[in-house]
Amino acid sequence: MYPMKHIDNIPSTPGKFKMEKPPYNRLRIHISLAKLTFWSFVFLGLIFVFFYRSPAASSSSPVSSDLSRRSLRTNSYGGPAWEKRIKASAKVRSRNGISVLVTGAAGFVGTHVSVALKRRGDGVLGLDNFNDYYDPSLKRARQALLERTGVYVVEGDINDATLLKKLFDIVQFSHVMHLAAQAGVRYAMENPGSYVHSNIAGLVNLLEICKSVNPQPAIVWASSSSVYGLNSKVPFSEKDRTDQPASLYAATKKAGEEIAHTYNHIYGLSLTGLRFFTVYGPWGRPDMAYFFFTRDILKGKSIPIFEAANHGTVARDFTYIDDIVKGCLAALDTAEKSTGSGGKKKGPAQLRVFNLGNTSPVPVSDLVSILERLLKVKAKRLVMKLPRNGDVQFTHANISSAHKELGYKPTTDLQTGLKKFVRWYINYYGNGKKSVQ
Ligand SMILES: O=C(O)[C@H]1O[C@H](OP(=O)(O)OP(=O)(O)OC[C@H]2O[C@@H](n3ccc(=O)[nH]c3=O)[C@H](O)[C@@H]2O)[C@H](O)[C@@H](O)[C@@H]1O
C-alpha cells in the first residue's frame, strides 16, 4: 500500500500537476479500478445467484407451480400487423356465424374444435401458452394445421389479463370456448401448482375479463368426468354428487364449476361446463394411456395395465374426438347471451353442465386388445394394482341431458375410433420420422 502522505500531497485545485499525472496517482486509479472490478463481480454474482434460485425454479411451497418445466412466457405482442392477423382470423364469414376465442387452441380438443368452427364459417381466434407438459412440437404441428385452416393462435397465458383485455379490445367475441387447462389426473401429484395456476387462477382471470367487457361473451368450457370422483352410482348423471374428488385435478375442475356458478350469479355470465369423458383420437395427448400404450407396444416396451382390488376391472367411457366436437359446437350454438353489462348483472343468465361421454365403458384390458389387433403387435402386459394416484375405477356417462338440450348423440365406438387414431399415429410418427398430415 502507498503511504497516505502521497495522497495528501495531491493538490486540491486543478493545475499543471494534474496534467503531469504523477506515478502514485496512476497507481491509485489502478487500485480503484481493481476495487471496482472486484465489487462488480461480487454484485453480478449476487444477481446470478438470485435469479438462478428464483421462486419459480426452486420454491419449496408445495403448491407453487413448477413452472420451470413449462414455457409460460408471453411473447411480445402488439402492432398493426399483429392486430390485422387477429381480425382476419376472427372475422365471421357465414350468415349467423359467431366469433369465438378458443383458449387452449393448440391442445387436442382445442385444435379440433377450432378447425370445425372455422370450416363452417365462424370467426375463430386461438390462444395457447404452448407449455411443455407434453411434447410442444406436437402443439406446434397442430398450430401449423390451424394456420392452414385460417386460424391464428396468439401465444400467451390465460393469466395474462393485459393480453386478454387487448384481444377483447380488438375483437368483440360473442363466445369463448375455454379449453386451456392443466390436464391429466396423475400429474397432479407431481406438479399441483400448475393445476391451481391454470384451472383456478387462469379461469378466474378469464372470467374477470369476460364479466367486464361489453358485450359479455357466452362461455363454454371444459370440465371433466373426474368430478364424479368416488361416486359409485352408474351411469353418472349431472344430478349425482360431485363432492368426493379423487385427485387434485378433479378438485380443480369441480372448483371451476363452483366458480362458474359465482360468475353467473353475480355478473350474469352465460356459462356451460362440459364434463368430457376420456377423449381420444387423432392429434391426441401423448400423456393419455391409449396414446402411450400405442407408442410402447410398437417399441416392444411393456405397458402397465391397472386393475382394482380383487382383480376388479378398471374401465373408461372412452369418447371419440369427433363426437366431443359436435357436443362443443352444439353447446356454443345453444348458449344464450350473457345478461350483464358494465360488470353488472341485468337479469338471470344461463348456467348449464353436461356430460359428454360415449355411454359404453370399455375395460382398459380390452382397449389394449383392440390396439394389439390394429397394430398387429402383441403387447407386453404388466398387470398391476391401481396405484393411489388419483385414478378412479370406472366412468360411465348418462348423456340424456346433453341429448335433450344439445342433440348430442355419439356415433363412434372404441374400435372404429382407435382405428382412426392408429392410422394418424403411424402417419405422424411412422418409421421414426415425423410426417405431418
Ligand atoms: O375423463 C376425463 O375427464 C379425463 O380423462 C382422462 O383421464 P383418464 O380417464 O384417467 O385417462 P388416461 O390417463 O388415458 O387413463 C385411461 C385408463 O387407463 C388406465 N391406465 C393409465 C395409465 C397406465 O399406465 N395404465 C393404465 O391402466 C387408467 O387407470 C384409466 O382407467 C384425461 O387424461 C383427463 O385429462 C380427463 O379430464
Instruction: Output the CA 389–ligand 1 centroid distance in Å.
Output: 11
- pLDDT at position 182 is 98
Confidence of residue 47 (pLDDT cuts 50, 70, 90): low
Would 220 be classed as within a structural domain? yes
Nearest CA to ligand 1 atom 4: 278
Would 141 be classed as within a structural domain? no
C-alpha distances out from residue 141 to 145, 425, 435, Å: 6, 13, 10
Report the C-alpha gap between 204 and 389 in whole angstroms: 27
Nearest CA to ligand 1 atom 16: 289
Confidence of residue 44 (pLDDT cuts 50, 70, 90): low
Residue with cell 372475422: 91
Q: For the residues 212-228, what does the mean pLDDT come to?
A: 98
Q: Which of 59-68, 242-251, 257-266, 388-397 has the lowest mean pLDDT?
A: 59-68
- pLDDT at position 34 is 62
- pLDDT at position 261 is 98
Q: Checking DSSP bridges between strand 123-128 and strand 99-103, what pairing results, if any?
A: parallel
Cβ-count burial 239-257 (b if 16+ within 10 Å, e if not) = eeebeebbbbbbbbbbbbb
- Do 117 and 149 meet the contact criterion of CB atoms below 8 Å apart? no
Would 64 be classed as within a structural domain? no
Q: For the residues 8-30, what does the mean pLDDT come to?
A: 38
Would 288 be classed as within a structural domain? no
Residue 51, φ and ψ in degrees, nearest 5: -70, -35
Confidence of residue 430 (pLDDT cuts 50, 70, 90): confident
- pLDDT at position 41 is 63
Would 160 be classed as within a structural domain? no
Domain total for the chain? 1
- Ligand 1 atom at minimum distance from 285 CA: 33
Instruction: Output the CA 295–ligand 1 centroid distance in Å.
Output: 16
- Residue 12 pLDDT exceeds 70: no
User: Model confidence over 96-151: pLDDT tens digits?
Assistant: 999 999 999 999 999 999 999 999 999 999 999 999 999 999 999 999 999 999 99
Instruction: Output the CA 288–ligand 1 centroid distance in Å.
Output: 6
Q: Where are the alpha helices (DSSP H) in 67-170?
A: 80-90, 108-119, 136-149, 161-170
- Ligand 1 atom at minimum distance from 275 CA: 3
- pLDDT at position 248 is 98
Task: Give the ipTM.
Answer: 0.99
Q: Is 263 a catalytic residue?
A: no
Q: For the residues 163-189, what does the mean pLDDT come to?
A: 98
- Ligand 1 atom at minimum distance from 253 CA: 37
Residue with cell 496517482: 25
- Residue 432 pLDDT exceeds 50: no
Rounded to the nearest integer, the mean pLDDT of the chain is 87
Would 21 be classed as within a structural domain? no
Confidence of residue 93 (pLDDT cuts 50, 70, 90): very high
- Residue 53 pLDDT exceeds 50: no
CATH number for 249: 3.40.50.720
- pLDDT at position 230 is 95
Q: Checking DSSP bridges between strand 362-363 and strand 315-316, what pairing results, if any?
A: antiparallel
- Residue 428 pLDDT exceeds 70: yes
- pLDDT at position 49 is 45
Give DSSP secondary structure letters for 355-370.
EE--S--EEHHHHHHH
- Do 110 and 279 meet the contact criterion of CB atoms below 8 Å apart? no
- pLDDT at position 57 is 34
Report the C-alpha gap between 17 and 142 in whole angstroms: 74
Q: What residue ranges in 388-433 does DSSP mark as E strands?
A: none
Would 339 be classed as within a structural domain? yes
Cβ < 6 A, ligand 1 pocket: 183-185, 224-226, 276-278, 288-289, 304-306, 314, 316, 364, 391
- Residue 253 pLDDT exceeds 80: yes
- pLDDT at position 36 is 60
- Ligand 1 mutation target, pool 109, 182, 185, 221, most atoms within 8 A of CB: 185
State the catalytic residue, choosing from 133, 134, 228, 249. Answer: 249
Range of the domain at 206: 180-278+318-357+393-410
Instruction: Output the CA 186–ligand 1 centroid distance in Å.
Output: 8
CA 319 from centroid of its chain's CA atoms: 20
Q: Which of 43-47, 83-87, 151-155, 308-312 has the lowest mean pLDDT?
A: 43-47
- Do 322 and 281 meet the contact criterion of CB atoms below 8 Å apart? yes
Amino acid, single-letter form, for residue 41: F
- Do 146 and 120 meet the contact criterion of CB atoms below 8 Å apart? no
Would 347 be classed as within a structural domain? yes
Instruction: Output the CA 104–ligand 1 centroid distance in Å.
Output: 20
Q: Which of 24-33, 227-236, 398-407 has the lowest mean pLDDT?
A: 24-33
Classify the phi-psi angles of 121: left when phi > 0, otherwise alpha if psi is within -120 to 50, otherwise beta. left
Confidence of residue 413 (pLDDT cuts 50, 70, 90): very high
- pLDDT at position 361 is 98
Nearest CA to ligand 1 atom 37: 224
Residue 288: which residues within 8 A CB-CB, separation 6 or more? 184, 278, 280
Q: Which of 30-39, 318-327, 352-361 has the lowest mean pLDDT?
A: 30-39
- Ligand 1 atom at minimum distance from 289 CA: 14
User: Model confidence over 353-371: pLDDT tens digits?
Assistant: 999 999 999 999 999 999 9
